[in-house]
Structure 1
Amino acid sequence: MGHLSHGPANRGRRVLQTAAPLFVREPWAPGPPRGGVIVLHDVFGVTEYAEDACRRLARDGWLAVSPYLYYEHGGPAFDAGDLAVARREMAGLRAEDLTADIEGAISYLRERGAPKIAVVGFSMGGHLATWAAAQAGVAGAVAVSPSGLERAPWDGLPPLELLLADRKAPWLGVAGEEDRRLPADAAERLRLALTAPGPPAELVEIPGAGHGFYRPGRTGFDPEASAESWRRIRDFLRTIS
């Protein structure tokens, strides 16, 4: 597990320490949760968007957590205008720390009694969610605008297509049809990887949407496409709860 040297910039939110500290949202409904969901943020960190994703899932009855993957630098979150800085921060992450952070979140949810655990990731988090689907222990994974088709964002992790071919849990990919990181030939390669023997897997392409379609404040944000991605996420999670 990673070592926490100092606390994250949590702005008064509820934060728990595991390998990486966790932003936590309890299910709204009384009684046991439907399950646990790990929300893996994009390059901008645990922003209001990642926190709101946890709140949405908590309203649906899930115990939702989001690891502060940048916690060794105080858990920063970047504005959309700080993309170059955020990318440098992302490049400094290490695969062994990221995987330990996800495993720590899984352990926390198990300790809380979550009957099943799913992972939902955005962009770089989509790659990590796909990594989780290739491991034993999660019930399903969703990757929204996943990155790292041919090469993972970090040394030590396989590219997306190899992770998909080795999946051990159901997987849903949601991508913009106009995503320049996922041209037509790349989408075909992903679909080929999905034909490998294993649990059900599907890639959904949203017409007219680009890479940043899901998140307000990003170039290319598309409210209708974002709403469609959340409909797909909820439908997928219902199949495993």
Structure 2
Amino acid sequence: MSHGHGPANRGRRVLAMAAPLFVREPDGEPRGGAVVLHDVFGVTEYAEEVCRALARTGRLAVSPYLYYQRGGPAFDAGELGAARGHMAELTADDLTADIGAALSYLRARTTGPVLVVGFSMGAHLATWAAARHELAAAVAVSPSGVGSSPWPGVPPTELLVAERRTPWLGVVGGADARVDAGLLEMAVRLPGPAAAVEVIAGAAHGFYRGGHPEHDPDAAAEAWRRIGCFLETKSLPSSIDR
């Protein structure tokens, strides 16, 4: 069962509202929270299933509908052009409010640790959150925005890693021509909270999710295994059944 919460007030802006949330409740009292930031295709079944998986670990999991001002659509893999058009219309101000509102919702519901996980476009935004907030952990799968950012006011991913205030893990496909893992690996060596880059051999950019032409189930399973290991080092629930 999903719940649409919001839209919440976007701080001091009078008319604009923060994105409503897809919410998955854990069984029992939440042991923490998680924000899931979707890829270019929107809050698809994949993003919803990641929320469900995180809820099974005892977390209250939410995914903001970042495209909600445009009707909140989700796209399939054959609609990449339309999806990119929606992504390009996002602004730093609105993204700041949407991510901040999701974090505020979780902090109002649980006193446990809060993490953020994102995919492609959402991985760039998860890294941005890690540079702006002190969270339990941030996970960025196939992060876009390496070398350049599509949004004025949002720095490139590698610069955000260098400015991190939160432990950060990047998961990159070894055959992903869109992500310069070397830039990320240089950034994680800079002083700050623990950070690492995990390279999944042979995986392309869209390896992580079903329905994408580049989906690789074995690579996706290996990525989640490594994510679980990373969360264990932060003493966070890690048995994510994906």
TM-score relative to the length of structure 1: 0.90
Residue 195 (structure 1) shift: 0.8
Residue 107 (structure 1) shift: 0.3
Q: Structure 2 residue aligned with 1:194, among 184, 188, 191? A: 188
Deviations 1:95-131 (A, max 9, x none): 1101110000000001002421100000000000000
Distance in 1 between residues matched to 2:119 and 2:96, nearest whole Å: 16
Is 1:210 matched with 2:204? yes
Distance in 1 between residues matched to 2:225 and 2:26, nearest whole Å: 19
Partner of 1:151: 148
Is 1:88 matched with 2:85? yes
Distance in 2 between residues matched to 1:77 and 1:173, nearest whole Å: 25
Secondary structure of 1:219's aligned partner:
coil
Deviations 1:55-108 (A, max 9, x none): 001111111000000000111000111011101111111111011100000000
Q: Structure 2 residue aligned with 1:16, among 5, 10, 30? A: 5
Secondary structure of 1:45's aligned partner:
coil
Distance in 1 between residues matched to 2:147 and 2:100, nearest whole Å: 24
Residue 33 (structure 1) shift: 1.8
Partner of 1:226: 220
Number of residue pairs the alignment of both structures matches: 225
Q: Structure 2 residue aligned with 1:48, among 42, 45, 49? A: 45
Contact 2:172 2:181 in 1 (8 A): no
Partner of 2:102: 105
Distance in 2 between residues matched to 1:234 and 1:100, nearest whole Å: 29
Partner of 1:8: none
Secondary structure of 1:134's aligned partner:
helix
Secondary structure of 1:81's aligned partner:
helix
Contact 2:147 2:156 in 1 (8 A): yes
Unaligned stretches of 5+ in structure 1?
1-11
| One-letter amino acid of the counterpart of residue 64, structure 2 | P
Unaligned stretches of 5+ in structure 2?
9-17, 237-242
Distance in 2 between residues matched to 1:110 and 1:187, nearest whole Å: 33
Partner of 2:59: 62
Distance in 2 between residues matched to 1:240 and 1:192, nearest whole Å: 26
| One-letter amino acid of the counterpart of residue 3, structure 2 | R
- Alignment RMSD: 1.2
Deviations 1:123-175 (A, max 9, x none): 00000000011013322100000001111121111111110111011000001
Deviations 1:206-234 (A, max 9, x none): 00100000011112100011111222223
Partner of 1:76: 73
Partner of 1:236: 230
Cα distance change on mapping 1:104 and 1:211 into 2, 3 Å: same
Is 1:124 matched with 2:118? no
Contact 1:139 1:240 in 2 (8 A): no
| One-letter amino acid of the counterpart of residue 151, structure 1 | S
Partner of 1:4: none
| One-letter amino acid of the counterpart of residue 175, structure 1 | V
Cα distance change on mapping 1:114 and 1:48 into 2, 3 Å: farther
TM-score relative to the length of structure 2: 0.90
Residue 240 (structure 1) shift: 4.5
Cα distance change on mapping 1:68 and 1:114 into 2, 3 Å: farther
